[in-house]
Every structure is written in C-alpha cells, then in structure tokens.
Structure 1
Amino acid sequence: MGQINMENSSNIFKWKHFESEIILLTVRWYLQYRFSYRDLVEIMSERGISISHTTIMRWVHEYSPEIAKRVRPHLKTVNDSWRCDETYIKVKGHWTYLYRAVDSTGKTIDFMLSEKRDAKAAELFFQKALALDHVQTPRVITVDKNPSYPAAIETLKKNKKLPQDILMRQVKYLNNIIEQDHRFIKKRTSPMLGFKSFETAKKTIQGIETMHIIKKGQVKLKNLSVPNNVQLFQQLFGSMA
C-alpha cells in the first residue's frame, strides 16, 4: 500500500476525548455488524469504557467518509463487465434510491445515494463511477428494465464519456449477482429503521459499503487476512482499530 500520512491521521482525532483506537473500533463494528448504537454502549461498558450512544453516532457520521476516502486509493481494479441496479433506503420516512454497481465477479464498482430515480440520477452515478481509479471503462453494462438507464447511457455516449460500441443488456437473470449483493447492505441498513437526514444516510452508507468492499477482499494489502481488519485500519490510520 502507499505511504500513510501519520500527521494527517493524528489531526483527524485531535481534541477527541477518547483514543483513536476506541473511536475506530466502535465505528467499524457499527458499520460491519448488526449492532445498534445502544448495543455498542453496553459492549464498551463491559470493557470499562463509558460512551453515550449519541457520541458513537457522531463518530459514525464523521469517520465513515474518512474510512471510505482512505480505502479508495488501495482498491484492486474491477473488470469491464458492469451489473447495475438500485435498492431502496428510507430517509425521514421517504424512500430514496441507492444506485449500486458490481462487476461480473461481484466486486463493488461504486454506489451513490440519490433522492431521485431518473435518467439524470443514473447519469450522475455512471459519471461518478467512471472517474474512479480502480474502474475500467465498461465493455458491457447489464441493467434492469428501468428506462432511465438506456437514456443515461445514450447521453454519456453523445458526450463521449462512454464508447459508442458499448453493449447494454437488459436481462434480469444476469443481474442476480447484484441483487444478491444488495442483501448484505440491506441486512445492515434495515435494523436502523430509516435515517433522520439525507446527509447522515449518505455518510453512514459510505461506511457500510466500504466495510463490505473490505470484506470482499478488494483492498490491496500484502498478507492481509480478509476477516482481520485490524491490520488494514492500522495502516490506513496509523493506529490499532
């Protein structure tokens, strides 16, 4: 992996009342497992550490985007066969749309939470994914019957963001791989019973998706045991988590 900026790592925990190890541990557990904030309060209390559930919530909102940002440069390259779909996430009592894409082996390409489900949202999602360093220009994109996808792809072709000869397939059974992958994300978001704001939903989902990416073994780290995230977080943040 690349060089970690230790000074930058320490600055993001400046003025916190708890050690960085405790902060990252609780955030990682919340994002990865089906724990509530109050579950984590009890778990840490058994270890002699008193933390309020609102403090853990603030940590999740603050550090989920930081975890995602630090993982991104170290992702393995995905292949050029995209499977795209969206799933539903409740925010403030209303449904929003989580656009997601994986490659033909199930590796995460990218994700994006959107308040709308239309051609513009699909186009923004594709543009966001295409800008990532670990992503290849797709040779084929498999989508469902949502009419916004063909419209978005045509716009990107016209703007020369996608090649003219790209193959778009609307074949439901070929998208089973991403529909199965949605389940891992929904297992974590469903017990949360909805989010209070779009921004906090966006930040939390960044963390959940990143932990799922790590679990899939998409991070380039020599001698990393996939279930053991301690070594990975130690290198990303310069601390034990």
Structure 2
Amino acid sequence: MEIRGVKVDHATIQRWVFKFTPILDKEFRKRKKRVGMSWRMDETYIKVKGEWRYLYRAVDKQGNTVDFLLTKRRQRMSAQSFLIKAIEHNGKPRVINIDKSGSNSSAIRVYNKRALATKSRIRIRKCKYLNNIVEQDHRFIKWR
C-alpha cells in the first residue's frame, strides 16, 4: 500500500486480518473441490516461528487436502477437534487410514461411539503403505 502512496499502520492491517479471515475462509471452502470417501490421516511436528507445533493433516485417495489443524500439543482432544472439523466441512468418510497414532485412532473411536444412533461408523484402517501419500506431502511442508 505504501507503493501506492497510502500509509497504513500495522495495527490496522492486523484488525483487517482478524476481520476478513473468517469471511475469506468461508468463501474459499465454498469453492474447494469435493474430496473422496477414503481419507489418509497423519500428524507431524513442524517449527513455526521457532516453536515446535503439531500439524494434523488429512488427504483423500487422490492426494487432495481434506483439512488441516495446527496445535501446540499432540493429544486426543486435538485429534478429535481436527476430525470433527474435517467431517463438518467435507462430509463423513467411509474409511480413514492412519498410522499407529494413538490419538488419531482414539479420536475416531470416540466419534464412532457418538454416531451409534446413525449406525454409519467410520472404518479405521492401519495400513502403513497407504499413508505414503500424506507422508510424502509432509516432506514439502517440513522442507520450508
């Protein structure tokens, strides 16, 4: 904006970010491609501004990003909130492939217990080589 001759304080830009981020997020989600019914879920740790954080990610069978969540801790509640957020925005998958992560499997089990009334449970699959899609994608995220 300074190039155009407009002087804007950094606090004003921060207010704009807080104000317009939810609106932009909603619009971006409307235009997002639909994802498949088979997901691969994984978490990894990355350094953000000098602090280690856990990045929960889910991709579908074709490698399209379903959703992601960045948290301070790796625990069941983080995995559970990530799973609920992903399902709310993309619909419920038929099967989720995970590695041997205890937090992800317990989050899916808790979700299945709550969804007993609908009788459409999410199947958990722990096949290591099927998670290669999301693991390979982590390389590019960690490289930055």
Q: Please tell me the TM-score bracket, short chain as reference.
A: 0.7 to 0.9
Structure 1 residues not aligned, in runs of 5+: 1-17, 20-47, 191-241
2:98 maps to 1:117: no
Name the structure where strand makes up a greater proportion of residues. 2
Q: Secondary structure at the match of 2:106?
A: helix
Residue of structure 1 equivalent to 2:98: 143
**CA distance in 1 between partners of 2:25 and 2:43 (Å):** 20
Residue identity matched to 1:154 = R
Residue of structure 1 equivalent to 2:110: 155
Identical positions, percent: 46
1:73 pairs with one of 11, 18, 30: 30
Give the alignment's TM-score, normalised by structure 1.
Answer: 0.49
**Comparing both chains, which one has the higher relative contact order based on Cα–Cα distances under 8 Å and sequence gaps of 6 or more?**
1
Are 2:115 and 2:121, in contact at CA under 8 Å, matched by a contact in 1?
no
What's the RMSD between the two structures over aligned residues?
Answer: 3.0
**CA distance in 1 between partners of 2:119 and 2:44 (Å):** 27
2:125 maps to 1:169: yes
**CA distance in 1 between partners of 2:142 and 2:22 (Å):** 19
Write the mapping of 1:43-54 to structure 2, written as runs, cut at 5 A: none
2:65 maps to 1:108: yes
Residue by residue, what CA displacement relative to the aligned partner does 1:190-220 show, whole Å, maximum 9, x if unpaired? 3xxxxxxxxxxxxxxxxxxxxxxxxxxxxxx
2:52 pairs with one of 92, 95, 101: 95
Q: Secondary structure at the match of 2:78?
A: helix
**CA distance in 2 between partners of 1:80 and 1:130 (Å):** 11
Are 2:39 and 2:96, in contact at CA under 8 Å, matched by a contact in 1?
yes
Aligned residue pairs, count: 137
Residue by residue, what CA displacement relative to the aligned partner does 1:77-133 show, whole Å, maximum 9, x if unpaired? 11110100112222454311111101000111101111111111111100001111x
Are 1:139 and 1:166, in contact at CA under 8 Å, matched by a contact in 2?
yes
**CA distance in 1 between partners of 2:82 and 2:99 (Å):** 15
Q: Secondary structure at the match of 1:142?
A: strand
Give the alignment's TM-score, normalised by structure 2.
Answer: 0.78
In 2 relative to 1, CA 163–104 (structure 1 residues): closer, same or farther, beyond 3 Å? farther
Flag the structure with larger Rg. 1
Residue of structure 2 equivalent to 1:204: none
2:43 pairs with one of 67, 86, 91: 86
2:111 maps to 1:186: no
Are 1:79 and 1:136, in contact at CA under 8 Å, matched by a contact in 2?
no
In 2 relative to 1, CA 49–185 (structure 1 residues): closer, same or farther, beyond 3 Å? farther
**CA distance in 2 between partners of 1:110 and 1:163 (Å):** 24
Q: Secondary structure at the match of 1:105?
A: coil
Residue identity matched to 2:137 = D
Q: Secondary structure at the match of 2:96?
A: strand
Are 1:77 and 1:136, in contact at CA under 8 Å, matched by a contact in 2?
no
